[in-house]
């Protein structure tokens, strides 16, 4: 693997995480439990999709084979996607969606914070914007986690059920591999121990206030980083990619 | 943990808040609308998500709608009509030098 291959792998991992989660959030548009969240969830989705666009646009420039950001989003098959499995999971109820958002943002905020000093100027520049977006996502979703966990009997039950559902996917989010190790050495990812420490402290503080049990990260389901995804991804891509598949080159 | 009986009265869980946005430093906060939220922290976030999506502001105030005391619509005539005949209160009889600019 060359440095160029590693940078491309990183752009696809980050880009796919953000695109797929952004698409999941966008599914709430028009269906959120209250008007305020019907705007808040797509607001966050647009932040995520903005990051995916940066990643794909940059990857397209590096590959230089005439493909555009749209090709990465709309013309790749499921096995070519490199996102963590948690982001492709169906939305479930509002508690499930908001807890997943909190966990993802709590993980990405220290990564973007570290990437503001990345050895790659383009990534570092985007990190300055993304770290502010993630700070808001952590705050907004975290405040909801607290209020649902410490709300009514029903909301607490749903928040606990969401944690039980998502727990098997947290290990993959936090795991490292050889590619990630080389990226850290190349100054293209922050030290995983520092990321983990920041993630643990934000989660512990929020979970305590939400009366949720301490996060127990055990080895769970994995494979997203090598393109082994769940059946649910096929359904997601069928909807997300339909227009470009059915009408190639369509613009609007 | 709250009593589940509250679930049947959403107004208790999600009261209404009036939202004021300051568009730029130096200007005053202006009323822009209202949001439902469980408390003041969530109200500020809801206001941010609903009313500042296009760069409308640099500061947000939220106030419980129930805290606002309004004039009585039935007293509108006695409150406001007497001023209609007092046009001398408008400073429109002065010549404003051009270099004063916008007033």
Q: What are the domain boundaries of chain B?
A: 4-100
pLDDT of residue B13: 77
pLDDT score at B6: 44
Q: Provide the 8-state DSSP code for A229.
A: -
Q: How far apart are the C-alpha atoms of A25 and A97, rounded to whole Å?
A: 8
Q: Which of B2, B39, B49 sits opposite A43 (nearest CB)?
A: B49
Residue pLDDT tens, chain A, 252 long = 578 999 999 999 999 999 999 999 999 999 999 999 999 999 999 999 999 999 999 999 999 999 999 999 999 999 999 999 999 999 999 999 999 999 999 999 999 999 999 999 999 999 999 999 999 999 999 999 999 999 999 999 999 999 999 999 999 999 999 999 999 999 999 999 999 999 999 999 999 999 999 998 987 899 999 999 999 999 999 999 999 999 998 988
Backbone angles phi, psi at A32, to 5 degrees: -65, 160
What tokens appear for A20 in the block? Answer: 């797929």
Considering only CB atoms, which chain A residues are within 8 Å of B1?
150-153, 156
| Partner-chain contact A150 B41, CB within 8 Å | no
pLDDT for B74: 96
Check residue A212 and report its DSSP letter: P
Nearest-Cα residue of chain A relative to residue B46: A36
ipTM: 0.88
Angle, helices A3-26 vs A94-115, to 10°: value is 150
Edge-to-edge strand ranges of the sheet holding B16-22: B30-36, B16-22, B59-64
Does residue B11 have a pLDDT over 80?
no
- For chain A, helix, strand, coil in percent to 5 are 75, 0, 25
**Which candidate from A34, A35, A152 shows the least CB-CB separation from B4?**
A152
Which CATH superfamily groups domain B4-100? Phenylacetic acid degradation B (3.10.20.520)
Cβ distance A150 to B1 less than 8 Å, yes or no, reads yes
Q: What angle do CA A190, A194, A199 make, to 5 degrees?
A: 110
- Return the structure tokens found at B4: 């589940």
Q: Do A154 and B2 touch (CB under 8 A)?
A: no
Whole-model pTM: value is 0.91
Residue B10 has pLDDT above 70, yes or no: no
Q: Work out the angle between the directed axes of helices A192-209 and A121-149 (0-180°, nearest 10).
A: 20
pLDDT value at B25 more than 80 = yes
pLDDT of residue A131: 98
Residues of A in contact with B42 (CB under 8 A): 143-144, 147
Is the pLDDT reported for residue B3 higher than 60?
no
B59 has a pLDDT exceeding 50: yes
Mean pLDDT, residues B33-49: 97
Q: What is the SS3 assignment for B60?
A: strand
CB-based contact B53 A154, cutoff 8 Å: no
Least Cα separation, residue A250 to chain B (angstroms)? 28
B97 pLDDT higher than 80: yes
Q: Please report, rounded to a whole number, the percentage of residues in chain B having pLDDT higher than 90.
A: 62
The pLDDT value given to residue B96: 81
Closest residue in B to A136 (Cα–Cα):
B45
Instruction: List beta partners, residue B35.
Output: B17
Whether residue B1 is predicted with pLDDT greater than 70 in this model: the reply is no
Nearest to B10 by CA among B33, B35, B38, B34: B38
Q: Residue A151 carries which DSSP code?
A: S
C-alpha A29/C-alpha A13 separation (Å) is 25
Counting every residue written for chain B, the total comes to 103
B76: Cα within 13 Å, side-chain hemisphere: 2
Query: What pLDDT sits at residue A252?
Result: 80
Distance of CA A46 to the CA centre of its chain: 12
β strands within A184-225, DSSP E: none
Decide: A58 and A15 in contact? Cβ < 8 Å: no
SS in 3 state form for A188-252?
CCCCHHHHHHHHHHHHHHHHHHCCCCCCCCCCCCCCHHHCCCCHHHHHHHHHHCHHHHHCCCCCC
Count CB atoms within 10 A of the CB of residue B80: 10
Asked if the model's pLDDT at residue B7 lies above 60, the reply is no
Helix A35-63 × helix A3-26 angle, to 10°: 160
Interface test mutation site (partner A, options B1, B18, B55, max chain A beta carbons within 10 A): B1
For residue A129, give Cα distances in angstroms to A112, A136, B89: 9, 11, 51
CA dist B103 and B100 (Å) reads 8
The two beta strands, B59-64 and B16-22, are antiparallel
Interfacial residues of B (vs A; Cβ cutoff 8 Å): 1-2, 4, 6-7, 14, 35-39, 41-42, 45-46, 49-50, 53
Residue closest to A177 by CA, chosen among A166, A163, A159, A189: A189
**Which of B1, B4, B37 has its CB closest to that of A36?**
B37
Output the CA angle A71-A73-A74, nearest 5 degrees.
70
Task: Inspect the interface and report whether the beta carbons of A140 and B37 lie closer than 8 Å.
Answer: no
Query: What are the structural domains of chain A?
Result: 3-246 (1.20.1260.10)
Query: Cβ–Cβ of B4/A153 closer than 8 Å?
Result: yes
Across B39-66, average pLDDT: 96
Looking at residue B87, its pLDDT comes to 85
Other C-beta atoms lying within 10 Å of the C-beta of residue A41? 26
B53 → closest Cβ in A34, A43, A140: A43
In angstroms, what is the C-alpha Rg of chain B? 20
- Residues pairing with B63 in the sheet: B18
Q: B94 pLDDT exceeds 90?
A: no
């Amino acid at each position: 693997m060359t440095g160029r291959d590693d940078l491309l792998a990183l752009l696809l991992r980050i880009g796919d995480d953000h695109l797929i989660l952004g698409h999941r959030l966008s599914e709430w548009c028009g269906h959120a439990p209250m008007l305020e969240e019907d705007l808040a969830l797509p607001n966050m989705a647009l932040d995520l999709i903005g990051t995916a666009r940066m990643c794909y646009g940059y990857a397209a420039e590096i590959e230089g084979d005439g493909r555009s950001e749209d090709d990465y989003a709309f013309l790749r098959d499921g096995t070519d996607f490199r996102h963590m499995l948690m982001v492709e999971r169906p939305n479930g109820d509002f508690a499930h969606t908001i807890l997943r958002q909190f966990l993802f943002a709590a993980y990405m905020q220290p990564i973007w914070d570290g990437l503001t000093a990345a050895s790659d100027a383009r990534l570092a520049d985007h990190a300055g914007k993304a770290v502010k977006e993630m700070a808001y996502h952590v705050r907004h979703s975290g405040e909801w986690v607290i209020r649902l966990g410490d709300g009514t009997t029903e909301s607490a039950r749903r928040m606990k059920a969401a944690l039980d559902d998502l727990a098997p996917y947290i290990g993959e989010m936090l795991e490292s591999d050889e590619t990630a190790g080389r990226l850290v050495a190349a100054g293209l990812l922050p030290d995983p121990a520092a990321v983990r420490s920041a993630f643990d402290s934000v989660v512990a503080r929020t979970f305590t206030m939400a009366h949720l049990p301490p996060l127990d990260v055990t080895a769970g389901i994995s494979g997203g980083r090598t393109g082994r995804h769940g059946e649910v991804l096929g359904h997601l891509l069928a909807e997300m990619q339909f227009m470009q598949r059915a009408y190639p080159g369509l613009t609007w | 943990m709250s009593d589940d009986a509250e679930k049947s009265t959403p107004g208790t869980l999600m009261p209404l808040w009036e939202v004021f946005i300051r568009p730029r430093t130096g200007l005053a906060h202006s009323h822009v609308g209202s949001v439902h939220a469980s408390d003041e922290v969530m109200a500020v976030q809801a206001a941010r998500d609903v009313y500042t999506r296009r760069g409308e502001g640099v500061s947000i105030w939220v106030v419980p709608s129930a805290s606002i005391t309004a004039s009585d619509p039935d007293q509108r005539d006695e409150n406001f009509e007497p001023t209609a005949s007092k046009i001398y209160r408008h400073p429109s009889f002065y010549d404003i030098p051009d270099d004063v600019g916008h007033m």
